[in-house]
Structure 1
Amino acid sequence: MLDYLVATYGKPVVAIIDGIVMGGGAGLSLQRTFRIVTENTVFAMPETAIGHFTDVGSSYFLSRLPGFFGEYLGLTGTKIRGAEMVECGLANHFMLSKDVRLLETALDEVTSSDTKTISEIISKFMHKPNVKQHGAFSRLEIINKCFSRTTVEEILSSLESEAETRAEKWILEAINWMKSACPTSLKISLRSIREGRTQGLEQCLIQEFTVGSHIARRTVSDDFYEGTRAMLLDKDRNPKWDPSKLELVTDEIVDRYFSKADEDYMESLQLPTRSNLVDTMRPKL
């Protein structure tokens, strides 16, 4: 609800991301009119490591990144820095961390909600990002080749084939993540992002709420609780996923997460009528 209210707020919202932005923080900040990052910014969606899935509106903002970069980020938990966020479209402004307080002071003095006025103020503090040529986004051609596949199994197999001819670090890291992540979470996340390509933010949030409700209520599996135990509480980093392998996660299992629950206590997300929703993300390329 909060993600939706902020995204559809009548006045321009400026998100200044000067550090780690993952999961819920990404949902609050990456659907704003102004998304400002710095050299300290680190973004990732690592939910599949704990048996959860890419939610908080990520089926909306990840699906709108160029090519299949959103699927790559959602399925591999990859961390990218502020400069690369601007390059791929997750953010639209880059500034130096040392100037954040100055920008905040300048914005505090604004008496208008005019987008152009705010944009002019922000532009005074902008800095040209130093994009690393070996970053993941520079490998978009390979990412598109692998992550455009229909199933998670096919994506993983394609990555392994690439690794045989080019043992690049980012490919090996993607393979290792996907092999250790929750199999069901990977399949839920892929379906969520793929369907998000044709949905508006409201539809994405409602569907993510349905999936999240099933996960929280354990109506299908205990994976989220097992993942939380293994990765965050006991920290043995040895979760026992059920099902344990990708090939054991059937379409019927995934369908259950996306279906409306029969239980009376699981209601659908009810969002208020809003007229200010603007697609602030770059169009899919």
Structure 2
Amino acid sequence: MKSSEESGDGGTVQVFVEEKGFARILILNRPRQLNALSFGMITALLKHITAYEEDPNAKLLILKGEGKAFCAGGDVAEVAHSVDECHWTNGAIFFWNEFRLNYLIATYSKPQVSLLNGIVMGGGAGVSIHGRFRVATEKTVFAMPETALGFFPDIGSSYFLSRLPGFFGEYVGLTGARLNGAEMLACGLATHFVPSERLAALEESLTKLGSSDPFAVCAVIDNHSEQVPLKETSALNRLDVIDKCFSKKSVEEIISALELEAVNNAEWALAAVQSLKKASPLSLKISLRSIREGRLQSVGFCLVKDYRVSCHILRKEASKDFFEGCRALLVDKDKNPKWEPSRLELINDEMVDRHFSRVDEEGWEDLKLPVRQGFGIKLGSKL
């Protein structure tokens, strides 16, 4: 049985739903936008995933994307436009719902299998990496490119980035480095690697499984998966040097350490330096603090923190970098953003600290997460 959810884009069906056996398949369907999450898509996913948790005939979820992307992220251009046209709270509503969706997936009682066949970035990671099973392929491209947009790795990513080997999460989150499927598997972002030509067979096998037992689901995926070697040029083969550089206390010290490595013709270090110097300086400082704090926070705390930071950014309190990044990279596409503050040394601790505090505006409240069995967060606690 097949149904759909229509929202936006002139009535285009943005989320397809297929019911096959005991599996419920959710298909992101904005291929021309690389399946970037619109507000309507987030609302539809919330509705369906919530309903399936209560449906005894729905044993597992399968999430995939139409076209060459799984999901390239949240539609941040839509968010920026809505804020410019109306009020900053329009953008806050988008993140409120997106982060609640992320939390629902992170605490879901039934297995979710995400088929990451293509681009997986930003918000696309939020609807997949928090789930139990993440299947990468040879076509997978993963990245958290937010600092280049004047934003920060949100969607609770400070929870999973901070738990990658060593300081690899800082490297991925600050530089926006792209990882392939083999690298995702090696660092733990993916649970399995299945060649794309076997995905149809895997999906068919999963639809025949009448069980929510994660061990049974894992066994089915294992039967279709394989181990893949890392390329010699993979940054994961240089984890000791990455740890040495990205364990530094500040962004300035990280860049200095990388520049020393680049002197020795380390191409990956030179590429990392170039990425960091192109990114928003304020975004880099916010991102480093967020990932570092994430090591000691639950996924719920990370999402509440992300909502606070997002709201401050939308209010343009210390900087308009997010809107400038969207202009330069997504709208005008001149790829020449004018960051303000323009240099790391112009950013003081108070500017960064403000982004992690409660928003001082009447009517504003912290992100409220649904009560989930076995999970809890005291929102009154100090973040």
Q: 1:161 aligns with which of 241, 260, 268?
A: 260
Q: 1:43 is matched with which residue?
A: 142
Q: Does 1:183 align with 2:281?
A: yes
Q: 1:128 aligns with which of 213, 220, 227?
A: 227
Q: 1:282 is matched with which residue?
A: none
Q: 2:202 is matched with which residue?
A: 103
TM-score (norm 2): 0.71
RMSD, aligned CA: 1.0
Q: 1:232 is matched with which residue?
A: 330
Q: Does 1:201 align with 2:303?
A: no
Q: Does 1:15 align with 2:117?
A: no
Q: 1:213 is matched with which residue?
A: 311
Q: 2:243 is matched with which residue?
A: 144
Rounded Cα–Cα distance in structure 2 between residues aligned with 1:239 and 1:267: 32
Deviation at 1:111, TM superposition (A): 1.2
Q: 1:222 aligns with which of 320, 328, 332?
A: 320
Q: 1:253 is matched with which residue?
A: 351
Q: 1:54 is matched with which residue?
A: 153
Quick one: higher RCO (CA 8 Å, sep 6+), 1 or 2? 1
Q: Which structure shows the higher strand fraction?
A: 2
Rounded Cα–Cα distance in structure 1 between residues aligned with 2:328 and 2:147: 13
Deviation at 1:276, TM superposition (A): 4.9
Deviation at 1:34, TM superposition (A): 1.0
State the structure with more CA Rg.
2
Q: Does 1:77 align with 2:77?
A: no
- Supply the AA of the counterpart residue of 2:215: K
TM-score (norm 1): 0.95
Q: Does 1:4 align with 2:119?
A: no
- Supply the AA of the counterpart residue of 1:238: N
Q: 2:270 is matched with which residue?
A: 172
Rounded Cα–Cα distance in structure 2 between residues aligned with 1:276 and 1:22: 29
Count of aligned pairs: 276
- Supply the AA of the counterpart residue of 1:192: S
- Supply the AA of the counterpart residue of 1:136: A
Rounded Cα–Cα distance in structure 1 between residues aligned with 2:328 and 2:171: 24
Task: Provide Cα deviations, 1:190-240, integer angstroms capped at 9, x if missing partner.
Answer: 000000000000000000110011111222221100111111111111111
Match of 1:36, SS state, is strand
In the alignment, is the contact (CA less than 8 A) between 1:10 and 1:276 conserved in 2?
Answer: no
